[in-house]
Amino acid sequence: MNKFHVTFLTIFPEIFPGPLGFSLAGKALKQNIWSYQVINIRDFGLTKHKNVDDQPFGGGNGLIMRPDVLGKALDYALEKYPSSQIYYPSPRGNLLNQQYVKRILNKKNVIILCGRFEGIDERIIDEYNIAEISIGDYILSGGEIAALAILDSIIRILPGVMINSETINSESFEKDGEFAGLLECPLYTRPSEWKNRKVPDILLSGDHRKIKDWKYKQSELITKKRRPDLIK
C-alpha cells in the first residue's frame, strides 16, 4: 500500500507539521506511513517584496490572492504529484464529515491550498478543479489550521496508525461501526467513585450484552438531544 502524501501551499510554511509532528500522527510520520511537503507561495510572489495578493475587482474590503501567483505554485506542486486532488479550506465548501475524510484518504496524493486575506481568485478554483472544503460554520484567519484539522482526521485512520483499529468503529460519526453513525456514549475509567459520582453499575456488571445495549441507548439519547440531524 502506497503511503498517503500531502502537499501544503501556504505563506506560513513554519506552521507545518505543527501538531501533526506529535503523538499518533508524529509517530506515523517517522514510520513513513504518511509524508508531506510544504511549498511557500511567496516563492512565486511578484516584485522584490514577493507580493501574492491584490485589490479585488468591483470593489470590496480586503485583498485577494492572485491567480498568476497561485497558479505557478500549483503547477510546481503538480509537477511532482500530477495526479493530486487539490483542496481549498473555505467556509463555503462542502462540510467535512467522517465519510468525506475517507474519500480524501483514498486519493493517496493531495494538495491543500491554504488561503489568506479575503480569499483566492475564483479562476484558480475553476482552472484546477479545486474542491472547497469546510470544517465548520465559522471563520478562521487562514487555511492552515483547517488544513491541520483535515490531515489529523485522515492520518489517524490510516492503516497501521492506531494500535487497536477496532476503536475507530465505536467512535462518533462512524456509520459502519457498532453505533451506526451516532455520537459516542459516555466514557468512564478508574476510580469507580470520584467526588461522590459513581460509574454506572451496568458498566461494572461484567454482562457484556447488557453493557452493549446500554452504550447504544446512551449514544442514541445523546445524539437525539445534541445532534438530531444525525438521526434518520
CB 132 within 8 A of CB 142: no
- Alpha carbons 201 and 167: distance in angstroms, whole number: 23
Range(s) for CATH 3.40.1280.10 in the chain?
4-155
- pTM (global) more than 0.85: yes
Closest CA to 104 of 150, 136, 38, 172: 150
List per-residue pLDDT tens for the chain, 232 residues long: 469 999 999 999 999 999 999 999 999 999 999 999 999 999 999 999 999 999 999 998 999 999 999 999 999 999 999 999 999 999 999 999 999 999 999 999 999 999 999 999 999 999 999 999 999 999 999 999 999 999 999 999 999 998 765 665 556 556 566 667 899 999 999 999 999 999 999 999 999 999 999 999 999 999 999 999 988 6
Rg of the chain's alpha carbons, rounded to an integer?
Answer: 22
All CATH 1.10.1270.20 domain ranges in the chain, comma separated: 169-230
Query: Which has the closest alpha carbon to 133: 177, 86, 170, 176?
Result: 86
Find where cell 481568485 sits: 121
Nearest to 114 by CA among 141, 78, 152, 79: 141
DSSP string, 76-99: HHHHH-TTPEEEEEEEEEEEP-HH
Which CATH number is 169-230 given? Answer: 1.10.1270.20
Domain covering 4-155 assigned CATH 3.40.190.10 in the classification: no
